[in-house]
Amino acid sequence: MGKWTDEEIKAHLQQVQGPEDHRSKDEIYESLTRRRQNEPVKTRRRALPYAAGAAAAALFIGLSATFVMLSPQNEIADEGEREETQSEDITGAGIEEEPDVSEEGDGSGETDASQESEEEPELARDEESASESETQQVEEPEAAPSPEADEIPEVQEPVPETVEAENTWGVTTAYDPEARYVIPFSFPISEQDDVWEVINAADGSAPADALGLEPNQLEALSFQENSDGVAIQVEEHLQSLSSSESDLLYRSIQEILRFMGVDEASVIDGSGEATELGAFGAVETIYAAAPGAYFLYEYAPEEAVFLTAAAAGRDAPPTIEEAAASWVEGEQADEDLQAPVPSAFAAPEIEEVEAQHVTFRFTTEEEVELTEAEKEVMMQAVQLTAGAYGYDEVTLRLEDEVLAEGMRAFEAPNEIPPPES
């Protein structure tokens, strides 16, 4: 009646699946041990019917002996062989497992028959009990736990808390000139949004963001240079992004292109569909200066247009008038920006249409024809400026021409890390 070995337990658990059974390993071991202990009992109970048969056989042998004494000699020899064969059969049937019932009586046929009749109900009960025990033992493994039951449950990592702040951004820009990629992700955080953490694709040091991406996963972006620009292969799992999230992704890719020195790109998603992008509005330099922090947006193939958008890096955000004042006229130095900002445009006029809608109207001292890329630069800068100060929509006018109307005002960053020295 040996113990169950670890190999037997393991084999048992592998063979039997019990999704509703959540017993511990010790409980399973105890159940299996009881099952092993029940096996000899079951064997003895099965031997009882053979013992009853042996008693009947002994009675038959006693009667036969009397008959043999009156039979011819050759029949005695045949009967002897037959008796010897029956004795072997009885022994093989398991009579040694249980004491001979006939020995307990006085050897008379009446005693054997009486004892046999008394044991029949008990034997029937034993057989019924043995049958129930077998049924239980057959059904028991079905409730055995699955292998996962013994595994230690995984510790759930805490979900990042929502930052209850308006117009709060996290900005990280990583650029590796040898690997030829930069991944600047700038996802807005508001009271309704989850925390958008930043992916740093250069060294993978940043945690995974709310898209479910692991660090370094964006290194799989494939940049294939060609005569027209660059092709960027986006992983298939990025296609679950919302339209606003896709906009942010595309804007980041546009910044990548400018750092790489290419003018346009094709963004290819997991389905093979391509989206054409122009490289405009890239963040060229980030200045950190008191009392505020500034993004410097550049599109200057001939150094004709420089646009700046102020961001709230102080205790209280600047007013929309202060934001407009950051758009400077002519070629002059701005001490706060720590850089010359030439521009062909005068400061824009701010026309508030509604509480959440603002119109920027630019005028020029001379006629200026903007390319589509230059218009896009102005639109993005205006969107960032308007969004930084609580506006949802913005309209852009150049003189009397409406360049864009009812644009969504992107939230501008108000927390910008200082530039690396």
Confirm whether 92 is domain-assigned. yes
Instruction: Mark whether 326 and 269 lie in a shared domain.
Output: no
**What count of other Cβ atoms lies within 10 Å of the Cβ of residue 2?**
7
Instruction: Mark whether 240 and 375 lie in a shared domain.
Output: no
| pLDDT greater than 50 at residue 415 | no
**pLDDT tens for residues 55-76?**
666 667 766 666 656 555 555 5
Q: List helix spans (H) across 152-301.
A: 243-260
Expressed as residue numbers, the domain containing 390 is 289-421
**What count of other Cβ atoms lies within 10 Å of the Cβ of residue 333?**
10
| pLDDT greater than 50 at residue 5 | yes
Q: Is 346 left (phi over 0), alpha (psi -120 to 50) or beta?
A: beta
- Is pLDDT larger for residue 168 or for residue 29? 29
Confirm whether 341 is domain-assigned. yes
Confirm whether 109 is domain-assigned. yes
Q: Identify the burial level of 142 via C-beta atoms within 10 angstroms of its C-beta, where 0-12 means exposed, 13-18 middle and 19 or more buried.
A: exposed
Confirm whether 319 is domain-assigned. yes
The residue among 150, 179, 194 that closes a domain is 150
Instruction: Mark whether 303 and 399 lie in a shared domain.
Output: yes
Token reading at 63 = 């009667």
Instruction: Report the amino acid identity of residue 329.
Output: E
Name 321's Cβ contacts closer than 8 Å, sequence gap at least 6.
350
Instruction: Mark whether 93 and 65 lie in a shared domain.
Output: yes
Confirm whether 224 is domain-assigned. yes
- For the chain, give the percent of residues with pLDDT over 90: 0
**pLDDT tens for residues 208-247?**
333 333 333 333 344 444 444 455 555 544 555 555 555 5
Instruction: Mark whether 113 and 175 lie in a shared domain.
Output: no
Instruction: Mark whether 351 and 378 lie in a shared domain.
Output: yes
**pLDDT tens for residues 249-306?**
565 555 544 444 445 566 666 566 666 665 433 332 222 222 222 333 333 333 322 2
The residue written with tokens 């020029």 in the block is: 364
Instruction: Mark whether 315 and 265 lie in a shared domain.
Output: no
The residue among 250, 279, 308 that closes a domain is 279
**pLDDT tens for residues 96-128?**
444 454 444 454 444 454 555 555 555 555 555
